[in-house]
Structure 1
């Protein structure tokens, strides 16, 4: 039996739970008390393909985000885009948890945030059956949330969902495996997994995933319990890389995938729900500021899994500041310019 890791658990927000009511109250109090999160820094911005909108001068635009790396990056992208468009931007990124950002948007105290379709569907909207098709998931969320006074903009290709990853150098030893359906063809001794405790026990986690791919949990000819190691989330990547298991439960835009040269298996039978990110707006803000949605629609198509893995890696592995990483990417893509150049 594998040993569980003793590392501190780092559960990515917006997957299995939401913040408490206390955090929601704290978030709502930010605007009333004149407070700002600690990471409100962004560099000065010049116009690129994003130019000032007519009527945006002097108009306030409040951006919010959650507090994990990817959300900080997306929050800074939104701040930079709003600034280049000529808005008077208030940066409320880096809030602790999913529910506070949601409450700010629903109440109109925030105008825009980048949110995940799966988080909205399963957590905010209380749906029990996940949707794997990305376009269908976005449309389902849009159709319900528009009645809540929020509008989902153009979704990005990036889909920060669950996945199984394998050490790239081990792929030839495992028969050249590239898809999850090929797990069933492996010898039992090669079907070893590193997963977090919650994924291991959830009714939509490890057991149904195995069944979806024709593998029986606990069976000698399927996946014996001794083949499954329970780890803290942050330790799964290193454990998989070190060979403690062949397949680790990961998130598809995590920068450690590239840093450790882990390859994501293709979910060819579409088990995992879609978690595409999209800009979400307070609907009244869109009515009052024509052209705002189109600015974000220009950005969304450029946000791929590969792009976010690269940016996440710069922050989490290389120690760069999220605002600087977002700024460099926005300049490279031509959305903004450096006013000092």
Structure 2
């Protein structure tokens, strides 16, 4: 989602894009129950960024499209948001799941986020339409930044929101975060100013994966920078602090495809409209936990969920 964007190296992209059949679900059409043939003739690759949520979403998409007559595969081998977007724009991918905040800020160079999620989605949809990119109706999930704390510690301190955090003594305002987040306008500097956090707040810089366990231990910090749909939040019994001033940009997820492909196969939108509304932040947390906590294969996670929902 909001991982650091890689430098776009021509050779690296060429290698990555050549892997369009790797890491995919070439057997999706044979494993999915038939749901109709309205997408007969649709072929292509569903791409993904390099983290579990994206892998799961790519497999969900490929499996459900194939259940309606398509013959798609997945590619979970391309590394870096910029490379995935390039693969999509140059026709290597038929589609992939993107986040509104990423497109708005990273790809369209808009420095001011839109706080209302419906207005944000419309703005991103309109600006990307000029590039021949269609956004299908979004899922409710919002994979945005957040700060979390141990559930028992939150109860002890009597806090539920970032405004509550700002009222704590400076000694309790201890934070773990990535180095990139610490300098971003939509990260620590802006958050500290927006909520009036203590100038004496303690900040520890850690790698993304370490932040979750450090927050759960509570030794380096009370509050850890997390992504709201991460499955480790419920697994580690963390509580997300409500961003009550809506400081963080909205990162609502949706399937993006080329406009001409949607015009040729409008039933894609109909098929996905039965899937996307079910993908809430809470549902995505559970699916991500199966991959990141339990170690399940994202393709299996996707198939099991679609089957349980009666979608394939």
One fold, TM greater than 0.5? yes
* 1:150 aligned residue (105, 113, 133): 133
* 2:273 aligned residue (297, 317, 323): 297
In the alignment, what sits opposite 2:213?
A: 238
**What secondary structure sits across from 2:142 in the alignment?**
coil
Q: Is the 8 A contact 1:76 1:326 kept in 2?
A: yes
1:24-55 deviation line (CA, Å, top 9, x unaligned): 3334444xxxx5223446550103xx4321xx
* 1:197 aligned residue (179, 194, 198): 179
Q: CA deviation at 1:191?
A: 1.1
Root-mean-square deviation over aligned CA pairs:
1.7
Q: Is the 8 A contact 2:16 2:77 kept in 1?
A: no
Q: Is the 8 A contact 1:113 1:279 kept in 2?
A: yes
Q: Is the 8 A contact 2:46 2:62 kept in 1?
A: yes
1:185 paired to 2:167:
yes
List runs of 5+ in structure 1 lacking aligned partners: 1-12, 216-221, 337-341
1:252-288 deviation line (CA, Å, top 9, x unaligned): 0111101100010110100000000001111111111
**What secondary structure sits across from 1:166 in the alignment?**
strand
CA 1:296–1:332 in 2, change beyond 3 Å: closer, same or farther? same
The structure having more radius of gyration, on CA atoms, is: 1
The ranges of structure 1 where at least 4 consecutive aligned residues each deviate by more than 4 angstroms after the TM superposition are none
Counterpart-to-counterpart distance in 2, 1:280 and 1:333: 23
* 2:14 aligned residue (9, 20, 25): 25
**What secondary structure sits across from 2:36 in the alignment?**
coil
Q: CA deviation at 1:85?
A: 1.0
1:281-311 deviation line (CA, Å, top 9, x unaligned): 1111111112111111221110011111111
Counterpart-to-counterpart distance in 2, 1:60 and 1:38: 17
Q: CA deviation at 1:203?
A: 3.0
Counterpart-to-counterpart distance in 1, 2:189 and 2:151: 25
In the alignment, what sits opposite 1:282?
A: 258
Q: Is the 8 A contact 1:41 1:323 kept in 2?
A: no
Q: CA deviation at 1:156?
A: 0.7
Q: Is the 8 A contact 1:65 1:114 kept in 2?
A: yes
Q: Is the 8 A contact 2:5 2:80 kept in 1?
A: no
Counterpart-to-counterpart distance in 1, 2:285 and 2:186: 25
Counterpart-to-counterpart distance in 1, 2:43 and 2:154: 52
In the alignment, what sits opposite 2:33?
A: 46
Counterpart-to-counterpart distance in 1, 2:33 and 2:83: 31
In the alignment, what sits opposite 2:85?
A: 102
In the alignment, what sits opposite 1:81?
A: 64
1:228-274 deviation line (CA, Å, top 9, x unaligned): 11111111111111012111111001111011000101101000000
TM-score between both structures, scaled by the size of structure 2: 0.93
In the alignment, what sits opposite 1:4?
A: none
1:65 paired to 2:48:
yes
**What secondary structure sits across from 1:194 in the alignment?**
strand
Q: Is the 8 A contact 1:118 1:275 kept in 2?
A: yes
**What secondary structure sits across from 1:94 in the alignment?**
coil
Q: Is the 8 A contact 1:119 1:275 kept in 2?
A: yes
CA 1:253–1:323 in 2, change beyond 3 Å: closer, same or farther? same
Q: Is the 8 A contact 1:240 1:248 kept in 2?
A: yes
CA 1:125–1:24 in 2, change beyond 3 Å: closer, same or farther? farther
Q: Is the 8 A contact 1:19 1:96 kept in 2?
A: no
In the alignment, what sits opposite 1:320?
A: 296
Q: Is the 8 A contact 1:42 1:76 kept in 2?
A: no
Counterpart-to-counterpart distance in 2, 1:295 and 1:266: 33
